[in-house]
Amino acid sequence: MSPGCSAYEGTIESQSTDYGIAPDSIELRASPHRKNLTINGTKRGVASNTAVHELLECPVCMKVMYPPIQQCPNGHTLCSKCQLKIRCCPICRHELGNIRCLALERVAESLELPCKYQVVGCQDIFPYHGRLRHEQNCRFRPYNCPYAGAECHVSGDIPFLMAHLKSDHKVDMHDGSTFNHRYVKSNPQDVENATWMLTVFNCYGYQFCLHFEAFNLGTAPVYMAFIRFMGDDHDARKFTYTLEVGAHGRKLTWQGIPRSIRDSHTKVRDSMDGLIIQRNIALFFSGGNKQELKLKVAGRIWKEEA
């Protein structure tokens, strides 16, 4: 053991926050290999490869290692991310150099691995390299927090996000598929500091986010309302919604399909997939002296029968 190697140095990223994705080059390198897998039918080999699977787990971060896999001078392996953060081997405490473990990399390429979201329900098994691409799009991957008012980096499954919206963002929650929501703002001239609101509706066993916000569309200030679905795109498409705003015998109506919260709030807004109200119309609907925005947005969500 070398001197000064009695402790880890630096900090290790926690496992739950890092959904890092490997660079494309790794995917490309894998493609000729996938053919072999199909020909040889390696699915049979999966169970007997448990020992190799364990070898592929980095002893520091516990994640599956991808090339370049590193090793200490005594042959203990670890992932390259962790190798950058610690100076000594986590097993034998020998000082780490920059030694690559090509043999394990080659063995790894012949493996099939379960998706890392297996614990939350994904049953799929993938060739070593193809697994990363799948995990980027796995339907069991965590959702980002749908709250739009500030940068929020919380992610998790829907029940977790519901609890988070309630306790950390103090979001309004309602039960039911019809609603009548009033938006009041005392200074409607001010759209620079994006005004937004999020309300969550609970119906049909799912949750829907009603977004309302003011922003500049080009140079024109507008208000926009739209609904996002707390779930994946496939389930979102089973629903339809309408939004209505009006007064004095005029009415604007929007009918749409809720967008999955996989699509970011800004993406949905920028695609204008919702009810858009020009400011002069909004002020007209507000009545009064145009000093105050007072909009009543009514809506309904329903399930399309297949």
Binding site for Zn ion (CB under 5 A): 58, 60-61, 72, 74, 76, 79, 82, 89, 91-92, 94, 115, 117, 122, 138, 145, 147, 152, 154
Of residues 145 and 275, the one with the C-beta less far from Zn ion: 145
We find the least distance from the C-beta atom of residue 80 to Zn ion, in angstroms, to be 8
We find the least distance from the C-beta atom of residue 92 to Zn ion, in angstroms, to be 3
Residue carrying structure tokens 């970011």: 264
Of residues 22 and 217, the one with the C-beta less far from Zn ion: 22
We find the least distance from the C-beta atom of residue 246 to Zn ion, in angstroms, to be 33
Of residues 76 and 262, the one with the C-beta less far from Zn ion: 76
We find the least distance from the C-beta atom of residue 24 to Zn ion, in angstroms, to be 19
Q: Calculate the dihedral angle through the C-alpha atoms of 75, 81, 84, 89, rounding to the nearest 10 degrees.
A: -30
Please state at what angle helix 130-137 crosses helix 24-40, rounded to 10 degrees: 110
Of residues 92 and 272, the one with the C-beta less far from Zn ion: 92
Of residues 34 and 63, the one with the C-beta less far from Zn ion: 63
